[in-house]
Structure 1
Amino acid sequence: MTDPKKYILAIESSCDDTSAAVLCNAKVLSNVVATQEIHKQYGGVVPELASRAHQQNIVPVVHQALAKANIDKKELSAIAFTRGPGLMGSLLVGTSFAKSLALGLDIPLIEVNHMEAHILAHFIEEESMSQPQFPFLAMTISGGHTQIVKVSDPFTMEVLGETLDDAVGEAFDKSAKLMGLPYPGGPLVDKYAKLGNPFAYDFPKPKVEELNFSFSGLKTSILYFLQKQTKVNPDFIAQNINDICASVQHTILEILMEKLELAVEQTGITQVAIGGGVAANSGIRSRLKEAEETKGWKTYIPKFEFCTDNAAMIGIVGYLKYKRGDFTQQNVAAKARYAIGS
C-alpha cells in the first residue's frame, strides 16, 4: 500500500545559496537554487552580504518552487527548513520565513540538520540513484564540514571522525586561491587536475589519530611550495597549473580514502555513501567506484544537484520526520553550531 500524498515545502539557507523545493512524499517535484554571485569578488562568502541576499531571494525562490511543482501553498502538508549548522544571519532568514509561513497556513513545521540532510539525500526517489542499506558509512565532505558518520537508521547517526581544523572544501578553495584561481576554486582544481600528472609534486599528508582529519598543514605546505617555486620562476604556476592541481587533488583524495578505508576496517561496514558539495568532485567519485571493484564495497553517490546545498535534501528529511510526527514548535531558533544526532 502506497503512502497518501504529502506535499513538503523545504527551505535551505545555511550559507550563500537560497533554495526551495517541493516534494511529494520522497519524490522531488521542484528544486530551485539561487546562487549568490557577489561573493566571487571577495574570494569567499561574506556573511553579512549572504544574509541580505537571502532576504532578497527567498520569496521569489519559494514562489518559483511552488509554480514549478504546480502546487498551491494551501495544498502543502508541512514546511521543512534548515535549522543549522551554518551562518547565523543566513539561517535566521530561512528559519523566520518558514515559521511565518507555517503559522499562516496552520501546518506543521519541521526542523532539519543540514549535515544529516546531506546524508539522507540518498533516500530521494530518483531513477538514477540507488539507496544504501542500513547500517552504512557516510562521508560528508563540503566547504564547512568533513566527517565520517555511522548511519544505523535515518534517525540514528554517530560521528566516528571529523576535521580538527579546516574542511576539505576549504582546502580545495584556499589551495586554488594560492594559485590565483577565482572563487569557488574547488571545481577549477578538479577541472585542471584531469589534465595533469597527480604524481608531479609530492605534498605531505598529516598524521592524525583515529578517523579524524586535518587540512591546515597541507595548505601551509602548498603555500610554501608555491612561494619557493615562483621565487625561481615567476611563471611557475601558470606553466604548471594542471600538474599542481592534479598533485593537490591527489593528496587530498588520498587523505579522504585512507580514513574511509580505516573506517570500513574498524566497523566492518562496506556500504559507503558520500554527500556534500565536494561529493561532486570527479576524483572522489572515480576513487569510490574503483573501491567497489578492488575492495568489494557498495558505494552510493548522489546526483550532482543533490551534492551541493539544496532544499530537496531538506525536504526528504522533512518527509521522513513528517511520517513519524516529529514536528517543531514555533519558538524554535536557528543554531549556527548543530551537531549530528543532537
Structure 2
Amino acid sequence: MRTYLGLDTSAYTTSVALVDEELNILSDERVLLKVDNNERGLRQSEALFYHIKNLPFLFEKIEPILSGHQVQALGASAAPRNVAGSYMPVFLAGLSSARSISTFSQLPLYEISHQEGHIMAGLIGNYSLLDKPGFLAVHFSGGTSELLVVKKAGGQNLLNIEAVAAGFDLHAGQLVDRVGVAMGLPFPAGAALEEMARRYKGEHPLNLPSYVLEEGFSFSGVETRCQQLLKEGVPREALAFAVLRVIANTLEKIIVIHANKTGIKDVLLVGGVMANGIIRERLVKRLEHPAVGINTHFADSHLSSDNAVGAAALAAYLHQQK
C-alpha cells in the first residue's frame, strides 16, 4: 500500500502521522510537551529539545505500520503560516528530520505551513468545501487567532489562504490557558476548563463583553476582567463558562461580518480551541439559525488540536497531482 508520512513539531506537541492514497489515517502519534504546574508555557529552546527527544520514540511506534507499506512522499510543517517572515524555531525539529529522511531515501518532501496542515486536517470529512469557489476558515489556537478566506489553488499549492481578520493582542488559546492556570488548572487548560464550565448550572451567565472590528478582535481586556473577577471570588464554574462563551461570541460576530462582506456562507473551524464542545455548540446554534444561514464545518475533535495528519494528507494530495 502506498503511504505518506507527515511530521509536525509545534509549540506544545510532537506529531508523526501516516495516511494512505485515499487519505485514510493509518497512524496518528503525538506526544504533548510537559509544562510544569503553574507555568503558562515553554521557551522555544525547551520545546525544541523535547521534540528532538520525542521524534525517535514516535518513529518507533509507527515502524510496525511502515512494514509492508511503501512511503511515497513526506510532508512537514516548516513555519506557522505561509507568509513571508513567519518563523518559529520549534518547527526545525520536524523539518530537519523530514529533510534527512528525504535526502537519504530520495523521497519528495513537501514543506508546508502549520496552518495549512490544520486546514487540511479539517478538510478530512469536509471535502465538499474544495468544490466551492471559496470558504471561510477559523484558525483559533494558542498561537494563532485568525479568520481566513480559503480558495483552491493550482500548481504546487492546494490552498490559497488570505487572512481577513486577526487578534490584536492575546490569542484565544492564550486566554483559555491564562485564566485556567490562574484557577489552578493544568497547562494547557482547554479540556479542564471545559469540564469545569460544564458544571455551571446558573440561569444568568456572566457577561464578558467582546471587542470586534472588521479587521480583528481583542481578548486582552477579557483576561484582565477575568483576573479581577477571580480576586472578587466569582465561582470558577461561572467564570469558566463565561470565558468560553465570550470566545464563541467573538467568533460569531467576526464570521457574520465577513460572511456578509464576501457572500461566503460556509466556514471551516480548526485549531485546538475549536475542539471545545461548548464553543462548538453555541456557534452551530447561532450561525446555523435560519436568520443567519451560515453553514459550519468542524474538524473532527481529535484533529482540531495540533497533529501531523494534515501534513501527511497534504503531501498525499500534492504528490498525486503531479
**Smaller-chain TM-score range?**
0.7 to 0.9
Shift of 1:38: 4.0
Which of 185, 189, 192 is residue 185 of structure 1 equivalent to?
189
What is residue 91 of structure 1 aligned with on the other side? 91
> Partners in 1 of 2:239 and 2:159 — Cα distance?
41
Q: Say which SS state the counterpart of residue 89 (structure 1) adopts.
A: coil
How does the TM-score come out when normalised to structure 1?
A: 0.83
> Partners in 2 of 1:202 and 1:43 — Cα distance?
25
Shift of 1:46: 3.2
Matches within 5 A, 1:325-336: 325=322
Q: Which moved more, 1:40-49 or 1:136-145?
A: 40-49
> Partners in 1 of 2:121 and 2:57 — Cα distance?
24
> Is residue 162 from structure 1 mapped to residue 166 from structure 2 by the alignment?
yes
Give the share of equivalent positions with the same residue, in percent.
Answer: 25
Q: Say which SS state the counterpart of residue 9 (structure 1) adopts.
A: strand
What is residue 303 of structure 1 aligned with on the other side? 300
> Is residue 11 from structure 1 mapped to residue 7 from structure 2 by the alignment?
yes
What is residue 111 of structure 2 aligned with on the other side? 111
How does the TM-score come out when normalised to structure 2?
A: 0.88
Letter in 2 for 1:177: V
Q: Say which SS state the counterpart of residue 25 (structure 2) adopts.
A: strand
Q: For residues 258-282 of structure 1, what are the alpha-carbon distances to aligned partners after superposition, in whole Å with 9 as ceiling and x for unaligned?
A: 1111111111111111000011011
Q: Quick one: structure 1 residues 110 and 40, their matched pair in 2 at CA, closer, same or farther if it must change by over 3 Å?
A: farther
Letter in 2 for 1:309: D
Say whether the 8 Å CA contact 2:35–2:187 is kept in structure 1: no
What is residue 175 of structure 1 aligned with on the other side? 179
* TM superposition outliers: structure 1 runs of 4+ over 3 Å: 38-41, 68-72, 86-89, 197-200
Q: Quick one: structure 1 residues 162 and 6, their matched pair in 2 at CA, closer, same or farther if it must change by over 3 Å?
A: farther
Shift of 1:70: 4.4
Q: Quick one: structure 1 residues 39 and 314, their matched pair in 2 at CA, closer, same or farther if it must change by over 3 Å?
A: farther
Which of 42, 60, 63 is residue 63 of structure 1 equivalent to?
60
> Is residue 271 from structure 1 mapped to residue 270 from structure 2 by the alignment?
no
Shift of 1:246: 1.2
Say whether the 8 Å CA contact 2:38–2:181 is kept in structure 1: no
Q: Say which SS state the counterpart of residue 62 (structure 1) adopts.
A: helix
What RMSD in Å do the two structures reach over aligned CA positions? 2.1
Q: Quick one: structure 1 residues 323 and 24, their matched pair in 2 at CA, closer, same or farther if it must change by over 3 Å?
A: same
What is residue 31 of structure 2 aligned with on the other side? 34
Q: Quick one: structure 1 residues 315 and 278, their matched pair in 2 at CA, closer, same or farther if it must change by over 3 Å?
A: same
Letter in 1 for 2:14: T
> Partners in 1 of 2:139 and 2:161 — Cα distance?
12
Say whether the 8 Å CA contact 1:146–1:213 is kept in structure 2: no
What is residue 205 of structure 1 aligned with on the other side? 210
Gaps of 5+ in 1: 230-235, 326-342
> Is residue 146 from structure 1 mapped to residue 151 from structure 2 by the alignment?
no
Shift of 1:14: 1.9
Say whether the 8 Å CA contact 1:276–1:308 is kept in structure 2: yes
Shift of 1:172: 0.9
> Partners in 2 of 1:148 and 1:66 — Cα distance?
38
Say whether the 8 Å CA contact 2:117–2:308 is kept in structure 1: no
Say whether the 8 Å CA contact 2:17–2:312 is kept in structure 1: yes
